């Protein structure tokens, strides 16, 4: 009922009919690129607004209220301000790397965004190694952070960048292993197949205890990987003023800011897809009447609902917990999360081998 497959196919066929195959492909690329860039910008605006509002309500404030209804146009106004700001650069900074770093970060998040399965048929790039692709590309972002810290010629930036490097390299392990645990269950890396396998129930419910453990581990590790509180050591405004982006201003700063929010969105997308069924409505095997009622809600709403829930969860962490120290952060990963993950993957393999999960 809400399938986008036919719509996408008809657009594709009409393009192929009127243009040469090469041109049709080019036009499709441009359309998809434009859609994603637009979505990217919109995402940034919305998420920044949401963050400010959520944070404000946690802190007994109202947040932005003046520009537009309930301050909805505030982020737009801020973007305008950032665009008009003078890009100031440290005289001794490495000019090329300094300007290059924000782009690495933003491009890496944009690439990962391309595999997002929004709704049935609405996925730009359904690669068969989807999860692997996500893990691989999202780790390019750290190069941008390291470059930004190094090129700024500022000691605070450098400390921030080094912290970030240590942090992301370690937490990537946990993210990867938590996802790997689920891959044992799904048997596929392709995002569309992972979603299809959850038609009779989401993996977090079907997969028993190990799936739930993997979910918690994934949320903790990925919060650390996107440098958000309580793991925001790379920025740590009370210690390093602003960490790796201390020296950035104007739009280049906005790129870092935007990338943080888009990365948060990506993490939420992966969590929603792998654990909570992506765009798949909430189904319980056997209860057909209930399942049909759930099907009335469009998949795209299910998808964004789940993503919003996980983003809210991450904002909740950030505005409640104090920040960890660098050694505690690494201890948490290497001494607790990683062994737990390894044990969990064995447990999951055992569960799958014995067939102790629902819906097999």
Partner 1 sequence: MEVVDKDKTIPGDALKSQEYFVNMGPQHPSTHGVLRLVLTIDGEIVKRIEPHIGYIHRSIEKMCEKDSYRQIVHLTDRMDYLSCHINNVAVCLAVENALEIEVSDRVKVIRTIIDELTRLASHQLWWGVMGMDLGAITTFLYGFRDREMITDIFEETCGARLTMNYNKPGGLMFDIHPNFQKRTKEFVEHFKKKLPEYDQLLTGNVIFQERTKGIGVMSKEDAIAFGVTGPAGRASGFECDIRKKNPYHVYDKVEFNEVLLTEGDSFARYKARIQEMWESLSIIEQLIDNIPEGPIEEKTNAVIKLPKGEFYQRVETARGDFGVYVISDGKKSPYRLKFRSPGFSNLFILDKIARGSKIADLVAIMSTLDLVMPDIDR
Instruction: Look at the block and give the residue holding tokens 């993996």.
Output: 203
Query: Are the C-beta atoms of 279 and 194 separated by less than 8 Å?
Result: no
Per CB under 8 A, 316 contacts partner 1 = no
Closest CA to 182 of 347, 25, 310, 35: 347
- Which member of 21, 286, 322, 355 binds partner 1 (CB under 8 A)? 322
Kindly tell me the burial class for residue 265, based on how many C-beta atoms sit within 10 Å of its own C-beta (0-12, 13-18, 19 or more): buried
Stretch that binds partner 1, among 12-20, 70-78, 199-207, 232-240 (CB under 8 A): 232-240
**Binding characters for partner 1, 56-85, by CB under 8 A (x = yes):** --xxxx------------------------
Per CB under 8 A, 335 contacts partner 1 = no
- Which member of 12, 81, 95, 325 binds partner 1 (CB under 8 A)? 325
Per CB under 8 A, 359 contacts partner 1 = no
Instruction: Look at the block and give the residue holding tokens 């596929």.
Output: 188
Taking the complex as a whole, how short is the minimal distance between the CB of residue 229 and partner 1, in angstroms?
6
- Which member of 321, 334, 356, 358 binds partner 1 (CB under 8 A)? 321
Which residues are CB-neighbours of 171 under 8 A, at least 6 positions away? 221, 222, 224, 225, 231, 333, 337
Q: Which is nearer to partner 1, 99 or 153 (CB)?
A: 153
Kindly tell me the burial class for residue 149, based on how many C-beta atoms sit within 10 Å of its own C-beta (0-12, 13-18, 19 or more): buried
Per CB under 8 A, 324 contacts partner 1 = yes
Q: How many residues bind partner 1 (CB under 8 A)?
A: 29
Q: Which is nearer to partner 1, 100 or 319 (CB)?
A: 319
Q: Is the peptide bond before 230 cis (omega within 30 degrees of 0)?
A: yes
Stretch that binds partner 1, among 103-111, 129-137, 247-255, 325-333 (CB under 8 A): 325-333
**Binding characters for partner 1, 160-179, by CB under 8 A (x = yes):** ---x----------------
Of residues 138-157, those binding partner 1 (CB under 8 A): 155-156
d(CA 180, CA 201): 19
d(CA 82, CA 78): 6
DSSP per residue, 182-200? HHHHH----HHHHHHTTTT
Per CB under 8 A, 13 contacts partner 1 = no
Q: Which is nearer to partner 1, 51 or 283 (CB)?
A: 51
d(CA 167, CA 222): 11
Q: Which is nearer to partner 1, 205 or 248 (CB)?
A: 248
d(CA 302, CA 257): 27
Extended strands (E) in 69-210: none
Kindly tell me the burial class for residue 69, based on how many C-beta atoms sit within 10 Å of its own C-beta (0-12, 13-18, 19 or more): exposed
Per CB under 8 A, 93 contacts partner 1 = no
Question: Which residue(s) pair with 119 in the sheet?
Answer: 122
Taking the complex as a whole, how short is the minimal distance between the CB of residue 240 and partner 1, in angstroms?
8
Of residues 31-60, those binding partner 1 (CB under 8 A): 55, 58-60
Stretch that binds partner 1, among 103-111, 120-128, 194-202, 326-334 (CB under 8 A): 326-334
Q: Which is nearer to partner 1, 206 or 323 (CB)?
A: 323
Q: Binding residues for partner 1, per CB under 8 A?
A: 55, 58-61, 155-156, 159, 163, 229-230, 232-233, 236-241, 319-328
């Amino acid at each position: 009922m809400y399938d986008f497959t036919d719509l996408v196919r008809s657009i594709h066929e009409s393009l192929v009919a009127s243009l040469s195959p090469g041109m049709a492909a080019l036009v499709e690329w441009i359309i998809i690129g434009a859609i994603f860039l637009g979505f990217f910008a919109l995402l940034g605006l919305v998420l920044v607004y949401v963050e400010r509002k959520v944070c404000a309500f946690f802190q007994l404030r109202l947040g932005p209220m003046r520009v537009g209804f309930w301050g909805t146009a505030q982020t737009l106004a801020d973007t305008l301000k950032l665009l008009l700001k003078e890009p100031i650069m440290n005289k001794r900074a490495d000019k090329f790397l300094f300007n290059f770093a924000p782009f690495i970060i933003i491009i890496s998040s944009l690439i990962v965004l391309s595999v997002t399965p929004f709704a049935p048929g609405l996925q730009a790039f359904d690669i068969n190694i989807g999860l692997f692709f996500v893990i691989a590309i999202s780790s390019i972002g750290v190069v941008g952070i390291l470059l930004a810290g190094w090129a700024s010629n500022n000691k605070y930036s450098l400390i921030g960048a080094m912290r970030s490097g240590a942090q992301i390299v370690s937490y990537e392990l946990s993210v990867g292993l938590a996802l790997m645990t689920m891959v044992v269950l799904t048997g596929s890396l392709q995002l569309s197949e992972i979603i299809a396998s959850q038609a009779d129930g989401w993996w977090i419910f079907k997969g028993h205890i190990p799936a739930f453990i993997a979910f918690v581990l994934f949320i903790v590790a990925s919060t650390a990987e996107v440098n958000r509180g309580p793991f925001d050591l790379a920025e740590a405004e009370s210690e390093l003023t602003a960490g790796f982006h201390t020296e950035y201003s104007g739009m280049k700063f906005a790129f870092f800011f935007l990338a943080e929010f888009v990365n948060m969105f990506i993490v939420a997308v992966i969590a929603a897809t792998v654990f909570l069924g992506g765009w798949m409505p909430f189904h319980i095997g056997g209860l057909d009447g209930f399942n049909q009622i759930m099907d009335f809600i469009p998949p795209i709403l299910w998808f964004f609902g789940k993503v919003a829930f996980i983003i809210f969860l991450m904002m909740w962490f950030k505005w409640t917990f104090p920040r960890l120290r660098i050694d505690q952060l690494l201890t948490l990963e290497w001494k607790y999360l990683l062994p737990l993950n390894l044990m969990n993957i064995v447990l999951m393999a055992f569960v799958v081998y014995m067939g102790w999960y629902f819906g097999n």
